[in-house]
Amino acid sequence: MILAVKDLNVAYGNILALHGVSFDVEEGEIVTLIGANGAGKSTSLRAISGLVRARGGKIMYHSQEITRTTAHNIVRMGIGHVPEGRKIFANLTVAENLEMGAYTRRDGLEAAFERVFKSFPRLKERLKQNAGTLSGGEQQMLAMGRALMATPKLLLLDEPSMGLSPILVQEIFSIIQEINRQGMTVLLVEQNAYMALQVATRAYVLETGRIVLSGTAAELRENPQVRAAYLGRAV
């Protein structure tokens, strides 16, 4: 098991955002957390990568506890995180953004660039451009490419479809599948449950900070509750 989250509690001030959330990810899988706005999806990812501290519970990565590990060391251990809203460095060029993604690398920079250009050829044309001038789709590609520069073993993706046109969403999701086929384990957070359940192996449904359902993606696609609440279809 590459990642195991057990009874995770996270609070912002006095407001509990996660109430004992447990889930796990096997090597090679695409696991998705789906749920409405404010259900605690992003918070789960932020806790895994150390951006917020867990108030209780345990996060295990490759059977090593990382619950209290600092964010920059978690990156070094091989967890990449593409944050909500992309958070690309708009004041840096595309090339510099990618270099920042490789901040923890000591070697293999060239090869890392080549791999990223293979997945996102459009970034290569824009290397010298300020990242703030990219379109939304390109920014998403840059954010993903930047995370891949460190060659993580586990990639956390937070709402990659946000604000993108349907065609771009298709494109981004096929890239996610492609990266996964090359061996990357992915933990995907999505509001677009339809797309997420298309590509995922397994899924968990979060509601107000609790896991209410889990199963294989195929099972959840057929689940009447999921269909009604998240796929927008009649039961």
Using CB under 8 A, list all residues that contact other proteins.
49-51, 70-73, 75-76, 80-81, 83, 87-92, 96, 99-101, 103-104, 146-147, 150
Q: Which residues of 203-231 are buried (b: 16+ CB within 10 A; e: fewer)?
A: bbbbeebebebbeebeebbebeebbebbe
At residue 89, the 3 state secondary structure works out as coil
**CB 38 to other proteins: min, Å:** 19
Between 72 and 233, name the residue whose CB sits nearer to other proteins.
72
Between 45 and 205, name the residue whose CB sits nearer to other proteins.
45
Strand pairing report for 56-61 and 185-190: unpaired
Between 104 and 201, name the residue whose CB sits nearer to other proteins.
104
Give strand pairing partners of 189: 33, 158
Between 70 and 174, name the residue whose CB sits nearer to other proteins.
70
**CB 71 to other proteins: min, Å:** 4
**CB 139 to other proteins: min, Å:** 12
**CB 131 to other proteins: min, Å:** 10
Q: Are 25 and 82 in contact (CB under 8 A)?
A: no
Between 87 and 118, name the residue whose CB sits nearer to other proteins.
87
Residue count of the chain, please give it.
Answer: 235
Q: Where are the beta strands (DSSP E) in 40-124?
A: 56-61, 64-65, 79-82
**CB 118 to other proteins: min, Å:** 21
194 φ/ψ sector (left φ>0, alpha ψ -120 to 50, else beta): alpha
